[in-house]
Amino acid sequence: MAHTSSAHGSNYLNHSHGIKSWLTTLDHKRIGLMYFVVIMMMFLLGGIFALLVRWELFAPGLQFFSSPDKYNQAFTYHGAIMVFMVVIPLIPAAIGNCVLPMQLGAKDVAFPRWNLISYYVYILGATIAAATLFINQVDTGWTFYAPYSIRTGTSTTLVLLGAFIMGFSSILTGLNFIVTVHKLRAPGLTWDRLPLFIWAVYATSIIQVLATPVLAITLLLLVLERTIGIGIFDPKLGGDPVLFQHFFWFYSHPAVYIMVLPAMGVISDVIPAFSRKPIFGYKAIAAATFGIALVAFVVWGHHMFVSGQSEFANFVFSFLTMLVAVPTGVKVFSWIATMYKGSLRLDTPMLYAFGFLFVFTIGGLTGVFLAVVSTDVHLTATYFVVAHFHYVMVGGTLLAFLAGLHYWFPKFSGKMYNEGPARLASWLIMIGFNVTFFPQFILGALGMPRRYADYLPQFTSLNQVSTVGSWFLGVGFLIVLVNIILAIRNGKPAGDNPWGALTLEWQAPSPPPHENFFHEPVVTEGPYEYRGEKALMGGNA
């Protein structure tokens, strides 16, 4: 059985004291928390830009922004901040750092110093990129398409350098996790007993290590193009702007899976714990994770069906993209089947998992519309695409993150949050999200292009619905934040294993001690063997 938290006074939070002990810590849990704090600040910043963009779109014409340029800058920062600084590191760097070594039964990651360095590399990159807000705002969109990104007289170069530097953080974290999974598993923790969250983060790490260098090269080439005009992407110098898109999406499509695979990992851990049943089809889900990671590398061209690439390329990329839907479907069906004949605890993490399934299914199905070449031709670059990727990234990744946050918060804080506001927030976010983004599918199908500062009057009413939805979403996130802060200040003690979950982190005290476990845990069976007495525990509601 687990140690009770009253049996000891020392944990990773009070193990050493003072700001310096945090800034120089090598403890994966502290590093994870520091990531969490910075990413949440970036999320707030990106969220403010999102609300401003929606506010402007409440009516045609320009009301809030003084010029279209200001609007273009706002959506650029919203996209760049959310993608590079929030959604990509969100689950691997924040939750992954806290949870991964503990689920392995390890004292820490394999290279704690590199872990800290990777944190500061991220801070450096994010600072450089965010500093442009005070210098000269960027207006390229987060995709930096050439040749506009070469010509525009903004501080694009600095943002590119910022993203370039943040890429190294991603590579270092990925490498660290891969080695950790290979070398630091507890005795008995064989590969077929790994929690699916580990499988997901492991697959994600492989993508991070393999794909991010390509982004680094691409961004560097763009910087060189802007500064000394090497003529790779600029047609005026004999370059090829379509080549930039190939390079960019070669990273940025796998990046979508960097964002969504860890989310799937969280859901794969949460659903069995709150259904009190083994996960349905463990091997299929693990295999599907790798299937998705593999296919992720050969489908980038589906972003470019109307870019002027060849008909043959369109055929191949459309065909291969169909293959993404198969393992994704396998996962969704398996999660649903896990609930069948379970004993469901409808606590906040499970509510977010339901939300994830609802929203992610829409995101996945609308992806098929964009994978089929002919339907994509009409829908691409419209609000349909905007709606689709928000359903996948916000609806998928962010809801799974919130599930994970509410699932692991008691472990790492030792406190329990207030369940009432947490549930209220989950409903507000779910409703707000769908009200915000569902109308955008219709707007896009009707032809409204994305990245429009101004729009034709016939699109007004649907845009107003969308904007109102964004306010609900904003209030929902605010309640989550306040609820979490209140819980840190005066939440009730959570106990070591409030959910009765079976993965190793729950065997440690809450909050865990400096090196996680008092005794090295020994594993004798899979992570979701909910049976007998163990199947009856867990859940507040």
Q: How far is the CB of 201 from other proteins (least distance, A)?
A: 23
313 scored as a contact of other proteins (CB under 8 A): no
* 84, burial (CB in 10 Å: exposed 0-12, middle 13-18, buried 19+): buried
Q: Among residues 219 and 350, whose Cβ is nearest to other proteins?
A: 350
Each residue of 502-537: b (16+ CB within 10 Å) or e?
bbbbbbbbbbbbbebbeeebebeebbbebeeeebeb
CA distance 241 to 129: 24
Find the part of the chain contacting other proteins (CB under 8 A) among 68-76, 105-113, 126-134, 295-303.
68-76
63 scored as a contact of other proteins (CB under 8 A): no
Q: How far is the CB of 490 from other proteins (least distance, A)?
A: 28
343 scored as a contact of other proteins (CB under 8 A): yes
406 close to 352: Cβ distance less than 8 angstroms: yes
CA distance 224 to 154: 15
13 scored as a contact of other proteins (CB under 8 A): no
First to last CA, the chain: 23
Q: How far is the CB of 318 from other proteins (least distance, A)?
A: 6
- What are the backbone angles phi and psi of residue 339, rounded to the nearest 5°? -75, -20
* Alpha-carbon distances of 309 from 145, 231, 303, 315, 317, rounded to whole Å: 15, 20, 11, 11, 11
According to CB under 8 A, which one of 20, 341, 489, 519 is a site residue for other proteins? 341
69 scored as a contact of other proteins (CB under 8 A): yes
The site map against other proteins for 249-278 (x = CB under 8 A) is --------------------------xxxx
Beta strands in 103-227 (DSSP E): none
Size of the site for other proteins (CB under 8 A): 91
312 scored as a contact of other proteins (CB under 8 A): no
Q: How far is the CB of 84 from other proteins (least distance, A)?
A: 18
Which tokens sit at 93?
Answer: 């760097």
Which residues ranging from 111 to 140 are in contact with other proteins (CB under 8 A)? 139
445 scored as a contact of other proteins (CB under 8 A): yes
480 close to 399: Cβ distance less than 8 angstroms: no
Nearest to 502 by CA among 487, 486, 523: 523
Q: Among residues 18 and 457, whose Cβ is nearest to other proteins?
A: 457
Which residues ranging from 188 to 247 are in contact with other proteins (CB under 8 A)? 235-236, 238, 240-242
Which tokens sit at 519?
Answer: 């005794």
According to CB under 8 A, which one of 78, 226, 302, 345 is a site residue for other proteins? 345
Find the part of the chain contacting other proteins (CB under 8 A) among 212-220, 250-258, 361-369, 499-507.
361-369
**Beta-sheet pairing, 492-493 with 415-416:** antiparallel
278 close to 528: Cβ distance less than 8 angstroms: yes
According to CB under 8 A, which one of 290, 451, 471, 514 is a site residue for other proteins? 451
Find the part of the chain contacting other proteins (CB under 8 A) among 118-126, 130-138, 202-210, 311-319.
311-319
According to CB under 8 A, which one of 17, 340, 519, 524 is a site residue for other proteins? 340
515 scored as a contact of other proteins (CB under 8 A): no
Q: How far is the CB of 8 from other proteins (least distance, A)?
A: 32
Q: Does the CA dihedral 468-481-39-356 come out positive or negative?
A: negative
Nearest to 463 by CA among 48, 137, 56, 150: 56
377 scored as a contact of other proteins (CB under 8 A): yes
Q: How far is the CB of 342 from other proteins (least distance, A)?
A: 5
Q: How far is the CB of 129 from other proteins (least distance, A)?
A: 19
Q: How far is the CB of 270 from other proteins (least distance, A)?
A: 14
449 scored as a contact of other proteins (CB under 8 A): yes
282 scored as a contact of other proteins (CB under 8 A): yes
According to CB under 8 A, which one of 112, 281, 421, 493 is a site residue for other proteins? 281
Radius of gyration (Cα) for the chain, nearest Å? 23
DSSP for 238-262?
A: T--HHHHHHHHHHHHHHHHHHHHHH
51 scored as a contact of other proteins (CB under 8 A): no
